[in-house]
Structure 1
Amino acid sequence: METGSQALLNKRFSPARQSAMDARFEAQKIAFGPVVFQCVRIAWKRGILQRLAETGERGLSVDELAVEGKLSRYALNLLLETCLSAGVVELREGRYALDKTGYCLLSDAIAQINFDFIHDVCYQGLFALERSLDEEKPHGLAALGPWDTLYQGLAAMQEPARSSWLSFDHYYSDTSFPEILPDVFARRPRKLMDIGANTGKFTLAALAYDAEVEMHLLDLPGQLAVIEKTLAEKGLSHRAQLHPTDMLNPALDFPAGMDVIWMSQFLSCFSEEVIASILRRAAAALAEGGQVMILDTLWDRQKYDIAAYCLINTSPYFTAMASGNSKIYRADDYIRLCREAGLALAAERDGIGYCHSLLQFERKA
């Protein structure tokens, strides 16, 4: 029998009564998706969509736009016709005006961040997705740099890829941190470990929230070098200990005696095998009564289909660009892997920030 959650997942994304012609149209949209993406992106980046927004319902003709000199008449016709096909603009009596999707693109921060992330970080590398899937290695990463995984090269990544990656990563997490700090500090932890500390945003938020907490940061040496500089500039170096760690090495134990072990948008960077290793080491590093807290974007816990759609389609980035064998997981995946590592689910909360869930685990008795 189908469970309630499974029924909900099966209902998503596809209309209940879709005609054969509508289905064929959707198939063609998928086939030409990369073309539409680039044309809409260029129309946005070159200011064409903004110019149409400024004219309102009156709109502008191609000739009027061409006079302004941003693009040739040929280029404008090509871009705007594709934008028309995508519902980004509308055409009335020879004049183009912005449609609802176009206004959304100009006003929705997450849409803009997603556009930049896909273009600057993923677009060229996704050509190698099939090979990456076959070999479970991020072959598309060669488009950005000569690293085995994206995380090894993040500190040295060139612009605009680095800024687009950071904006994508931080937008999701930054909206969540203010909400979850009371959960993190509910038992007044004195030792808090931030695994996968990234640029240190959670660490800084935790240090500001509780003046007595001692932070322990685990990440690759390049990432910790960036955080170390930030902590020094803010006069916080004495409250944080840095532990350079390669998470892929299961022989490297984590510092022990931790009251809370925190992982935010971290486990999705790894395969299930590596996650299992990380969780076993995390469980061993807990103090008596300690907790493992996982904040992540779980696609099956989203209230709206739009969020689930974005998260599901982030997984190919992990394959082609990041690690070759990681993805956006479902909540049940983490709960199962934690249980196998000797951790029991103690609390869970969805709907945090933009699209996060918080899973709290304790060591099994």
Structure 2
Amino acid sequence: MKYGYNKEVYTALEAITEAQKIAFSPILFQAVICMRNKGIFAYLDRQGEKGATIDDICDNVALSTYGIQLLLDVALSMHIIYLRDQCYVLGKVGHFLLHDKMTQINLDFTQDVCYQGMFHLEEALEKGTPAGLKVFGDWSTIYPALSQLPDKPKNSWFDFDHFYSDSAFPPAFNYIKKLNPQHIYDVGGNTGKWALYCAKNLPNVDITILDLPEQIELAKNNINEAGFESRISGYSVNLLTAETLPAQADLWWMSQFLDCFSEEQIMQILSLIYRSMKKDTVVCIMEIFWDRQPFEAGALSLNASSLYFTCLANGNSRFYHSKVFYRCLSQVGFHVEQDIDGLGLGHTLLICKKR
């Protein structure tokens, strides 16, 4: 089985060590955030392989000697730094915590969006509602609330969402361009990034964003600023309550949209599109499946991120195994004509038509 999930991978000693990491992981996470925010990682990074003594660090970091020594000891236990000749040196893990864009995005998303809400995960699992969302306000899902979140969580949410999808846009677009669309429906278009990308690179194509009214307003601001209001329009709709959709497009596009819904809701949305679309229309679904990741770290990240959907987004969705989407598409009546892996940081593009 991929990633070695079909066997035990630890010795007893390794297993008890991993168990302690899990037991203290929320505390350790906050220690890492403190070290990053107070500049300990950055200072050690500037010192390179020679490292720095405790006195050097205390002279250059605005924190008490007690606080610095405590955090350094934690970092040693986490193998983020190491000690050589009484000098602290930033290790490989510390380097990635400081410099790797994906790690930075994930840290900020966890800290600013998820951390407080995750205390309510058990309640969310029991009730099937995003119980953790209450830390930000009284909403049934996070999506209409995005424009109203405080700046820090709002920015971290959009940075997280865009980082992964943006990397996949250029390679996915190469396949979309070959389909020669004249009118694209961008279902769940969010802030309009994909619509703008298409408008800039396909000068003769019209795009309509189908999304909640709050998201349409966000997208309109970006579209107007970019000067594409004549070719990109918005259609306000709740896909879970709509009975019909417009049918002018010859290509329907969904990017990291269906993972925002339960399996039953995915079937409902796909059925709605199936009923509404023209016979020869193409449906293109770009998703990120945990079983299609090239490295185990990717699968771990996606399965962990799925708990955000449970606790804060809507209570019943996740990043899925690809077989779930194949089953949903088949039951609705779609056939997957092309299945393309390896787009961006691990996306898959499914190009479908009516069977």
5+ residue gaps, structure 2: none
Residue in structure 2 matched with residue 172 of structure 1 by the alignment: 164
Instruction: Supply the distance in 2 between the matched residues of 1:240 and 1:341 (Cα, whole angstroms).
Output: 29
* One-letter identity of the residue aligned with 2:306: S
CA contact (8 A) 2:205 2:231 kept: yes
Instruction: Supply the distance in 2 between the matched residues of 1:13 and 1:201 (Cα, whole angstroms).
Output: 40
3-state SS, counterpart of residue 185 of structure 2:
strand
Q: Is 1:207 the counterpart of 2:184 in the alignment?
A: no
Residue in structure 2 matched with residue 270 of structure 1 by the alignment: 261
Task: Choose from 311, 323, 326 the match for 2:317.
Answer: 326
Instruction: Supply the distance in 2 between the matched residues of 1:63 and 1:185 (Cα, whole angstroms).
Output: 59
Residue in structure 1 matched with residue 93 of structure 2 by the alignment: 101
Residue in structure 2 matched with residue 37 of structure 1 by the alignment: 29
1:131 to partner: Cα distance: 0.2
Q: TM-score, normalised by structure 1?
A: 0.94
5+ residue gaps, structure 1: 1-6
Deviates more, 1:177-186 or 1:58-67: 58-67
Residue in structure 2 matched with residue 226 of structure 1 by the alignment: 218
Q: How many residues align?
A: 355
3-state SS, counterpart of residue 238 of structure 1:
coil
Matches within 5 A, 1:64-75: 64-75=56-67
Instruction: Supply the distance in 1 between the matched residues of 2:44 and 2:5 (Cα, whole angstroms).
Output: 34
Residue in structure 2 matched with residue 120 of structure 1 by the alignment: 112
Q: Is 1:8 the counterpart of 2:5 in the alignment?
A: no
1:258 to partner: Cα distance: 2.3
Instruction: Supply the distance in 2 between the matched residues of 1:172 and 1:181 (Cα, whole angstroms).
Output: 15
Q: Per-residue CA shift, 1:33-77, capped at 9, x if unaligned?
A: 111111011101111111011112222222322223511011101
Q: TM-score, normalised by structure 2?
A: 0.96
Q: Is 1:198 the counterpart of 2:203 in the alignment?
A: no
Q: Per-residue CA shift, 1:179-219, capped at 9, x if unaligned?
A: 11121132211121001101100000111121111111111
Percent sequence identity is 37
3-state SS, counterpart of residue 288 of structure 1:
coil
Q: Is 1:362 the counterpart of 2:353 in the alignment?
A: yes
1:272 to partner: Cα distance: 0.9
CA contact (8 A) 2:254 2:286 kept: yes
3-state SS, counterpart of residue 314 of structure 1:
helix
Task: Choose from 285, 292, 306 the match for 1:294.
Answer: 285
CA contact (8 A) 1:113 1:168 kept: yes
3-state SS, counterpart of residue 317 of structure 1:
helix
Instruction: Supply the distance in 1 between the matched residues of 2:181 and 2:115 (Cα, whole angstroms).
Output: 42
Task: Choose from 3, 7, 28 the match for 2:20.
Answer: 28
3-state SS, counterpart of residue 329 of structure 1:
coil
1:12 to partner: Cα distance: 4.3
